Structure 1
Amino acid sequence: MSVVIRVIGLSLLALGMFIYPQEVLNSAGASLTLWWRFVLPALLPFFILSELLMASGFVHFLGVFLESLMRPIFRLPGQAAFVVAMGYTSGFPMGAVLTARLRKAGKISRIEGERLLAFTNNPSPGFMFGAVASGMLGKPSLGVVLAASVYLANLMVGFLFRFYHFSASPAQSLRLPSFQQAWHELKTAQLQDKRTLGQLLSDSIKQSFTTVLMVGGFMAFFSVILRLLNIWRITFLLASLSHYLVRAIPLSIQQAFFNGLLEMTIGCQQSIQAVPIINQQIALLALLMGWSGLSVFAQIIGFISGTDLRIAPFIAARTLHGIFALGLSQLFLKFAKLPVMALPSQSLSPQSQFWSTWHLSLLMFLGASGILLSLAASQRLHR
């Protein structure tokens, strides 16, 4: 039955591309322009950096120090802290890429990989502050509310997933980390990798470019699918059916919501246009960014396809993330005294948006790494 549905779906998609070639060209071109101008420069340096750090043994070095932090909180090995830091600073699909790498290398079990995958994929700080808060909303200060809601909600999901497939096995005593032990792990990892520095840099660039090209392909393909669904009025029909059941929510908002379930960026833009009240805008934006969209789901499935990691726990985590982020956003708006100043999106040039994205991601990465190392050091001093 699934094969028949797949064949019918692909046939309808091919038919739609033949009937509406100009619409397909425009939607694919727009998504690739977005990828070329923002996604490629924002993600590629972080992909290359992560490849170099993993190959140089830095992840093994970091894992020794952060084992005593990650185990009791998330029931994950210390090396998972690197995935958390990179995933939170550069956005999806970095968390999925690095989780798959650790699983293929045998550094984490399948259950640990699914726990890690559940809370290391979210929008980048540049997207929330630059694209959404400053560009779409025209209110940069609301980026604090969005980012705090999304990040804290994701950490809550990570803490809940520590109970995922939990077995009451005998507690293992955590040994006090030492610099000698961490240095030994780093040197061992370097000795196992026989590549020269030139080969390492070349392989990192090639692997990173392949990964970021996959991201562009997913963006273009799902942009075309969403455009065809809108032409065929399928999302409108779904929104109309939902509006018939829940008449309290306007039809335009429900249509923006269904578009956001498929593609997050388009859903965020349409949500701002459809919702007149700022609190409701923030609520819907937080929900959609927590959910991420089927386009991101397809990227995650593609990157973990070479492992035994399952997608069902990730979908459950995204559902929880969206609900938690929505609730936290309203809580922050109620109690936080934030100056909301309007800023026209036209005043932000593509160049300034790119640099703000890069700077925010870099600062977030350095800050997250510093916090994790400080917590590990404080735990070591207090023992």
Structure 2
Amino acid sequence: MFNVARVLTLSFLALAMFIYPQEVLSSAAEGLTLWWRFVLPALLPFFILSELLMTSGFVHFLGVLLESFMRPVFRLPGKAAFVVAMGYTSGFPMGAVLTARLRNDGEITREEGERLLAFTNNPSPGFMFGAVASGMLGKPSLGILLAGSVYLANLIVGFLFRFYRVTSVSQQSSSFPSFRRAWQEMKNAQNRDRRTFGQVLGDAIKQSTNTVLMVAGFMAFFAVILRLLNLWHITFLLASLSHHIIQIIPVSVFQALFNGIFEMTLGCQEAIQALFLLDQQVALLALLMGWGGLSVFAQVAGLISGTDLRFSSFLIARTLHAIIALGLSQVFLMIAKVPTSNQLVQISETPVFFWNTWHLSSLVFMGCLSILAVLALVRVRHS
């Protein structure tokens, strides 16, 4: 029955693409434009860098030093700290890529992989600061508030997931962290990989390019689906039905919400157009960025399909992340005392260039590595 429904759905989708060729072309082009401007510069360099760091044994080095920190806080091995740093730096779907890699290499268990997958997927800092705060809202200063809400909410989700599928057998590290042991682990990892640096670099570029091209395909495909849903007024009908149930929320807000559930970027754009009060705009933006969109869900599902990781944990985590990010955004607005009443925010047409995305991602990356280095030094000093 499921296979028949899938065939009928795909056949109907193919027919719709033949009926609306111009809309399919323009929506796919819009999705690829977003990929070219924001995703490619934010992801590809860090994909390559992460592959090189993993093959160099840096993950094993970091794992020894941060084992005694990651276990009590997140119930994860020290190697997971590298995934956290890269996931918070580069945005979707870096966390899923590296989690799947660690699981396939046998570095983490199934439950640890699902815990790690739950809180290492965020929008990129370039998207939050550049595309949303500066480009859509026209208020670059709100980038800190939005990013803080999203990042802190995800850390809270990670702490909550330490209670996810806890086994009776504790896997706490039995030895104290030391630079000597960490260095030896890194050397052992390097000795196990017999490839030359040229081979390692070539494989890293090849694999990273394939992954980022897969992301482009997902973005273009879901942009087409969302355009067709809007042409058939399906999202408008869902919004109207929701408005009849909760009449205090306008139809336009529900439509922005449903569009954001499918694709985050379009939902963020419509959220700003549908709402006039800044606190409401920030609330819906934080909710949508915490959720991520079904396009991201499909990317993550595709990346972990070669592992035994369950997708249900990721779905639960995204729901929690969206709700917590919304709440934190309102708390931060009150603390920052940003005016929110009777404030009409215009959308800026200022383009966001490659430098903005790369610069912000680099700053976040260096900040994450600095925090990890400080934590490692503190753990070694107190051992």
TM-score (norm 2): 0.96
Question: What SS does the corresponding residue of 1:296 show, helix, strand or coil?
Answer: helix
Residue of structure 2 equivalent to 1:179 = 179
Residue of structure 2 equivalent to 1:138 = 138
Contact 1:66 1:373 in 2 (8 A): no
Contact 1:141 1:339 in 2 (8 A): no
Deviation at 1:172, TM superposition (A): 3.7
Residue of structure 2 equivalent to 1:275 = 275
Residue of structure 1 equivalent to 2:196 = 196
CA deviation profile, 1:3-56 (whole Å, cap 9, x unmatched): 122112111111110100000000001111221232112211000000100011
Residue of structure 2 equivalent to 1:26 = 26
Aligned residue type for 2:277: I
Aligned residue type for 1:138: G
Residue of structure 2 equivalent to 1:123 = 123
2:51 counterpart of 1:51: yes
Aligned-pair Cα RMSD in Å: 1.6
Query: Could you say if the C-alpha distance between residues 343 and 12 of structure 1 is closer, same or farther in structure 2, counting changes exceeding 3 Å?
Result: closer
CA deviation profile, 1:134-188 (whole Å, cap 9, x unmatched): 0000011111110010000000000000000013335745421111111111111
Residue of structure 1 equivalent to 2:334 = 334
Residue of structure 2 equivalent to 1:67 = 67
Deviation at 1:62, TM superposition (A): 0.8
2:319 counterpart of 1:345: no
Cα distance in 1, alignment partners of residues 55 and 269 from structure 2: 39
Question: What SS does the corresponding residue of 2:42 show, helix, strand or coil?
Answer: helix
Deviation at 1:195, TM superposition (A): 0.7
Query: Could you say if the C-alpha distance between residues 53 and 337 of structure 1 is closer, same or farther in structure 2, counting changes exceeding 3 Å?
Result: same
Question: What SS does the corresponding residue of 1:77 show, helix, strand or coil?
Answer: coil
Residue of structure 1 equivalent to 2:166 = 166
Aligned residue type for 1:50: S
Deviation at 1:2, TM superposition (A): 1.8
Residue of structure 2 equivalent to 1:250 = 250
Query: Could you say if the C-alpha distance between residues 70 and 172 of structure 1 is closer, same or farther in structure 2, counting changes exceeding 3 Å?
Result: closer
Question: What SS does the corresponding residue of 2:252 show, helix, strand or coil?
Answer: helix
2:363 counterpart of 1:360: no
Residue of structure 1 equivalent to 2:314 = 314
Question: What SS does the corresponding residue of 2:226 show, helix, strand or coil?
Answer: helix
Deviation at 1:100, TM superposition (A): 0.2
Residue of structure 2 equivalent to 1:112 = 112
Cα distance in 1, alignment partners of residues 138 and 264 from structure 2: 18
Contact 2:153 2:325 in 1 (8 A): yes
CA deviation profile, 1:215-261 (whole Å, cap 9, x unmatched): 00000000000000000111111111111111110000000000000
> Structure 1: where are the runs of 5+ without partners?
none
Q: 1:88-103 alignment to 2 at 5 Å?
A: 88-103=88-103
Aligned residue type for 2:137: L
Larger CA deviation: 74-83 vs 336-345: 336-345
Cα distance in 1, alignment partners of residues 249 and 356 from structure 2: 35
Aligned residue type for 2:130: G
Aligned residue type for 1:82: F
Cα distance in 2, alignment partners of residues 271 and 143 from structure 1: 16
Contact 2:68 2:172 in 1 (8 A): no
Query: Could you say if the C-alpha distance between residues 218 and 173 of structure 1 is closer, same or farther in structure 2, counting changes exceeding 3 Å?
Result: closer
Residue of structure 1 equivalent to 2:375 = 375
Query: Could you say if the C-alpha distance between residues 284 and 343 of structure 1 is closer, same or farther in structure 2, counting changes exceeding 3 Å?
Result: closer
Cα distance in 2, alignment partners of residues 13 and 246 from structure 1: 31
Percent identity over the alignment? Answer: 70
Residue of structure 2 equivalent to 1:37 = 37
Contact 1:68 1:376 in 2 (8 A): no
TM-score (norm 1): 0.96
Residue of structure 2 equivalent to 1:289 = 289
Contact 1:140 1:343 in 2 (8 A): no
Residues paired across the two proteins, number: 380
Cα distance in 1, alignment partners of residues 92 and 33 from structure 2: 19
Query: Could you say if the C-alpha distance between residues 75 and 170 of structure 1 is closer, same or farther in structure 2, counting changes exceeding 3 Å?
Result: closer
Aligned residue type for 2:66: L
Query: Could you say if the C-alpha distance between residues 382 and 274 of structure 1 is closer, same or farther in structure 2, counting changes exceeding 3 Å?
Result: same
Cα distance in 1, alignment partners of residues 337 and 234 from structure 2: 41
Query: Could you say if the C-alpha distance between residues 323 and 361 of structure 1 is closer, same or farther in structure 2, counting changes exceeding 3 Å?
Result: same
Question: What SS does the corresponding residue of 1:332 show, helix, strand or coil?
Answer: helix
Query: Could you say if the C-alpha distance between residues 173 and 227 of structure 1 is closer, same or farther in structure 2, counting changes exceeding 3 Å?
Result: closer
> Structure 2: where are the runs of 5+ without partners?
none
Aligned residue type for 1:156: I
Contact 1:139 1:343 in 2 (8 A): no
Question: What SS does the corresponding residue of 1:345 show, helix, strand or coil?
Answer: coil
